[in-house]
Structure 1
Amino acid sequence: MQKDVSEKTRKVLEVLTQEQKKLTITNLSLLATAKCDLTELYILMTAGATEDGMNVKDLSVGLGISTSAVSVRLSKYMKVGLITITQSRDDRRVNLVQTTAAGDEKAAEGMRALAYYEKL
């Protein structure tokens, strides 16, 4: 099970990393209008892309920042209802992040802002 999640995680992170590289300064200002920064959008899209949730460590690797920095962000997102964090059934040391309906909507809002810019 853990190997399957890691493989799914790797594929999702590859796609999102490629998309992240395409962003420009103009995209950043457009995202500001959507009230969603790139890190938040990345976390919400990645966590929402897997049915079982995304490993916190894998999120930190994909973002290139420490697990503790990701955890600080996740705590904020959890307080406002964008995500939930649960322990893995397979390994209690692993925390899995999943988006809520509000988190999915926030990610969709950010993606709509990016899609709008791409049409310009």
Structure 2
Amino acid sequence: MKRSLVLQPLSREHHQALVFSKRLHALADLPEQNQLKEWNEFRLILSDALLSHFDEEEHYFMHELGVKADNSLLKRMMEDHQAMRAYMNSGEVSQLHQFADLLKAHVRFEERELFPWLEKEFSLT
């Protein structure tokens, strides 16, 4: 699917997020004694990439495009972002599979629902 020029950089970052999701599943399947060490190292990479991505989307969609805070698609995006921020801030490794699944579902939601709606609603090219 051809993505609008303004959303292409975010879509490319979504591909990386899917790679991160696979890595999270792999971490969750490690022996318990290795999980925390690996998670703490990987969490720095994730935080750097995902937090800036979340901030960029939130700023662009709300402040530059003017999507209203009560929009159901924007609400879903914000709820997902908040949940993933909580996962990244947690030192808990028992929920890595859930985090990985949320990240994957979130990327699919944005690519299949949110981005097409934004392109149509705001005539993004």
TM-score normalised by length of structure 1: 0.42
TM-score normalised by length of structure 2: 0.41
Whichever structure has more helix as a proportion of its residues is 2
Whichever structure has more strand as a proportion of its residues is 1
